[in-house]
Structure 1
Amino acid sequence: MDSVMPGDHSSSDWPDQPRHDEGWPPQGDVVERGREGRDPADQPERELPGAHDGRESTVDAQTAHGDSGSDVVPSREAKVAEDDPAIQRMRGVLRAAVAELRQEALFNFGEMNAVKLTAILGQLLEHSELPKRYLETVRAVFAPPDGYEEASKALENPGAVLVLLREPGTGRTFTAHALLADLQLRTGAKVGPLSFGSSERFPLHRLPRDENAGYLLELPSDEDTFEVGGDFGASLFEVQRTLLSRSSRLIVLTTPEQWQRIGGDAPAGVVPPLKRPDGRAVAETWLRAEAPPDLDASRWLADERIVKLLEGQSPSDVLETVGHILKAEGSKSLVAVSDSDPDGFHAKVLSVVQARTAWRTELLEWHSRKGRTSFQRNFLLVAALLRNATVAHVYAQTAALCRLFGKPVSLRGQEEPGVVEMVSEIEAELDPTNDTIDFARPGWDDAVLSYFWIDRPPARKTFLSWMADAPTTKTTDFLETFTPEERLLLANRVGAFAVRWATHHRKADPLEQIISAWQKDKNLWSAATDLVSAAALHPTMGRFVHELLLRWSKAGSTPELQKLTVDVCAREFGRRNTAKALLRLGYAAGSTDFGVQESVGAAVRTIWSEPSARKSLFTSITKWCAPDSDRRASGRRSFAALATLVSQGYEPDDKVPSLLLSDNEEGGFQPSLDDLSVCWGALLTIEADEEEPTEAVNLWMDAAHGNPSLRPLIFGVLRGAVSAADSALGRRLRYQLRDLLYAWEPAPAPNVDADRVRLRHELLDLLDHDRSRSVARYHPRAASRSDGV
């Protein structure tokens, strides 16, 4: 199964990420962050046994790779274990973790409450070492395909490199995580993802210096102007030697097509002969791990109808079937007891089969029933989309949809059917405790939405408009208030549906409609960015979402799509896929929209945090800042973001522009003086009352004052910035710089610093000399990077 989960991230903080200087964060870091915002009373339930020590938990030992544990202890001891409250609690925690993982894999959060959903989305967008809690869950549900044990043993050898050749969505990420989980269990190795970087070749210095570690490297797909270097396979010899010296290992994910181009001259034996996951085995291990103890998984999987459903299915389709089985097993209303089906099992199996065919026959019968009203059809449609929303909100939103369809209804008084009658009409159940609607049939809600889309083409645009606007409503016509938390939960459910729909049908209409409708609401915009960011990292959905982001980055007529693309690039997508992020930022940088330009500026800091991307990034920014560039506005803001980026200098209180610090690490990059001058020239064209030029001048002049070794370089850059070929432009730039320098250290003024004033005059004198051409042009030979800069 390819899945996204807490900790499923193919880039990491190591090496060279700003939040952690070396290696991974502590083992429990992701787990602890995932707890933020949760009910404290629920926190102990979120931690699996063994999550913070090196021991294998009881649950893990009994469930690893589908082992139910029946042969682990004698029957009498097994009975005692079954009755042990601690053991039962541990298994309950594992079932909850497995259920959560399945929902994440399917990008379907309909059963989660607001707090849990917020935490899960936060975890999806984190990047760090894979947490032990997640690794235990993987071992509990992974069904090893043929060839797995041999591959696992091979990975234990220090210096091992395994290349998994599969398309996204075929279980490659989950297989890799299972291999790493077993490696961690057997050797104690730290395991986690590794970023490829932005260049076409994977540099060896990207390998962390940690001892006894296991890494997962996903190769970026070839697209547009970027592709992985054709000598990648040959480079694995040196990778193996480096890993061997550190007792570490590497798993590489790529596609057969890409490997055919880049895998020539690779070391022998790096591609293990792994078979495809067996659908029945995947379903069995998952059901045994997630289902309650009274569910007879063997009976379900022995039924020929279920066996047929699972044959040849992708892991995600198998998980959908597992979800339908669990739903059917837990539904009391599906049990149609008869002489031929005394316990209703046949009816449950039939409901799972019908769910996999989208309930088309049953929905046709329901919609065409005599006396069926548009109010009832719309109520069914709204209830299907707004899963777990209170019935009052479903009722009110149905009225809103009816108005948009030109058939207004009055919910005042008792003219229209009430909610109890409407719930009965759509053959659902009303939870009296939570006041929510539940469909007994598995997969019924998604089937309803699919049926509408096929059945009512002329109504699609109106429906999309209503769907996008639904979370923007702040109150209802009823006594209840639509709280911000409820709006956010609704937004996430609507957004998740739109993402799933877009990737499944390869049509972005619902998603684009949502982005446009939510652009002016800060909270809803953040929700949209979170969802698209998570989908961009999803092993199954990611490829199509990457295509969407590329297309949106060029959509100059819809700046909200460009802005969302840039905002996604400013998050984990940009760290993990730096080459792709740079390409999309380059297109979006041509936008004339202020919001897009501002977002581009913010995104470059994310890309800059990836050392291998710095040269390409700064080259792009320099081109954007050129006087004749049509991307100069984005270039100014991008350079301002980097020019004001601060790093610690040689003293604890010494703050130095990051662009000026030496980077002696292999593959490091330093901007040239000329390129810095070009970018400063663009920055100085910003209006004087804007903060970026003032902040940048203050930081750079403070650095010149506190670090004499940097002074020639800083002065040379600023002098070059105002030396424009156009004399009128040069004059404006000098005036702008003079004003900013005076603001940095005005004199006369109270508490004036004489040294700072002298420094300002020194630079102004040099600017005057340049202008008058009375002296030779200044060449800052002392600015050599080798002089300790």
Structure 2
Amino acid sequence: MSAGDTDAPEARADSEPGTDGRSGGSGGGGGRPQPDRPGGQDRGPRQDDGPAAPGGPPEDELFGDSETDPSAKEGRAAAGGAAARIARESRAFFLRDSSTYVGGTIGAVNFRFGDTARASLLAGPLPEDELRRLRRRFTRPPDYEDFKRQLRDDRLLVLCGQPGSGRTYTALSLLDDLTRGKVSRLDPGSDLAGLDSDDEGGRIAEGHGYTLEPADGRLPGELHLDRLCRLLADRGAYAVLLSVPAAGVPGAPQARYRRAHTPAAEDAVLDGHLTAELDSAPAEAREAARLLARRDTVRAALGLEALLPAEAARLAGLVARQVTGELTEEELLTACRGFAAEQVREWFAGGTAAETLPALRDAAYRIALAVFGNSSFNVAAEAAELLTWELAVTADPERVPGRPLLGDGLETRLTSARATTRISLQPVVAGEDIPVRTVRFLGPALAPALLAHLWEHHHNMRGPVLRWLDSLCGDPREDVWTRAAVAAGELCRLDCAHTLGELLIPMAESDQARRGLFVATALQDVLDDPAVGEALRSLVKNWGARGDGNLRWTAAAVLSRGTATRTMGEALGRLGRIGTWEDGRLRSVAAQSVAHLAGSASGREPLARIRAWLGDSRRQHQNLGLVSTLFLAETLVENVWNPAAELAGHGKWPLALAICATRPDQASEVAGLLWTALNTSRSYRAALDAVATWLRTCPGKPWEAAVLGFLPLLVLTDDDRQRMLSLIGKLSQDPDDPLAQEYAHRLLQTVRTGRTR
């Protein structure tokens, strides 16, 4: 029977790896250079003076050819130490419940204007019922009195703020205060340069107030605004122009008239609208509405940390309808889930202006935030520029887009994307936490809503976004490719066939290890999706059983996440077949996946399977068991993709020691596996090197006591004791980094007596 036919182990004694009886020879000393570590470093040359079994493979062959490109799919999975943690944090960004709202429209409070034919002056008076509504519901923003004073003195005010921030209501209220109700809205296409024409339609009415938001968002230059001021003064009139702040430094042409609009406080707007909505209801109903609007379930359904005034007014209307019986609570929550989707719909509303380079840069920045939320601001900003280039050349292939240097301000960019920054600890330097300025949306619902909107409503965005994600996979930083992979998984959930065909399957077929890890990270959660998970499991099964080396490697990486099969036994069986395929060509990645599964499962099954491989008469299965054992000893808990709950707080521990500490009933099994590796010639030096690493690094660490308690489990014979004593002696006499004398004495006592003291 060939190794590729089945993984069913035969529990037979073998003279080379130690059997369950732990009989076997011991080899000479010597240290083994660490195999190629995640991040792409090659192993150094070997000086293998230890014994090797006759006809057996040299120790290097357990891990793969040392001359192989470390980025290729031959050795272990080349993920850095921070990749697992970053993947978990990024994946939490897209957690959703089954009722997540991904589309639809809810009416807004702000007045919105469509494109119309241009006219010199086309004004429509504000109806009386809207004036009454304005006076009853309007909540003044913080600078309202300053706005009024400037408008009274200059006759002209430019209010600069984001849509939905209450700019329009503020403008109308200011004009109502100064003109006693003579308020008109100008058509968005009005030509302000023609206001002094002699025809009747171009004249400013005496004592009137006008508000305008230009259709193209562009305001007249300073000379035209000065001229408009004079015309307004001549007629005793007022005007408030509305604009959206540009990404860069505020422009000079409107600086003289421009004022930044700060939204009114959310609670004040919400309570004011609730009072107006329920003015004829009993006081108990108004109080119930206020409490309902702040209930945790409602806030969770909104998925926004702070509501804009328009959103607060919309929520007040919904809550009032629920309190009066027009809506059920579930209907209220469903409507609340649509708030984030509505915001995204406004961001990507389309039109000719949306194809300009500044608009594409805004879109790219928001998409980058959806992918790189809680990541470094600089990483997100650079990724946004790369996506801007993809979008721009897709929209206009003949144009080479550039980057703004001084015209891209941070604060305005954050405000337009409803984002914020803060200082957080991130594992971005050698896997260690350092302070980093991170960026995120102000609300967990925005990222999934944004990706869903793009994939469902803007087909032509798919190509450049997938090319962008593919390019991010080429970045060696875990903070970049891991988050891109998690986002790719979210897109796969939204349209499985398209994302697989255009991105993930070509990556799985690639000969680059990081691309295989990208696929595994992307598919991890999608494999549990009730709609497409079963089909994806079949796909991964086919990769592992009938694919070429690249697809089998990717299948092994996917299996390490624990979601590609329904049972642990099935996953281990597939890894056994992959790890013994073609004389163990993919042994390292299969063994590493087994170690990940041992860290993610609380049961004994992974350890028992490793023991069965060690007891198998087939050499490739023995080798797979040995390498799996070595990975148990070398892997840190923080590098396990999905560590079991009991391993929490043991991130820096070696996985083997953490299993012994948190699952004491499995300690003897773990020790037996490592004992076997120490007593097998072809894995002896690697296993001894792993123990030496524990002894060097554990002083002062939380797992120092675990090492002292574990060493006696490795000593069953005098040869075992002599091996450990020799190792401790060599480490104590290291001229560069000797063990502390007191610590070395404790180790020696532990090995000699079999006790920690």
TM-score band w.r.t. shorter chain = 0.3 to 0.5
TM-score by length of 1: 0.34
Q: Under a length normalisation based on structure 2, what TM-score does the superposition of the two structures give?
A: 0.36
- Determine which structure has greater relative contact order: mean sequence separation of CA pairs < 8 Å that are 6+ residues apart, divided by chain length: 2
Q: Higher helix fraction: Structure 1 or Structure 2?
A: 1
Quick check: which has more Rg, 1 or 2? 2
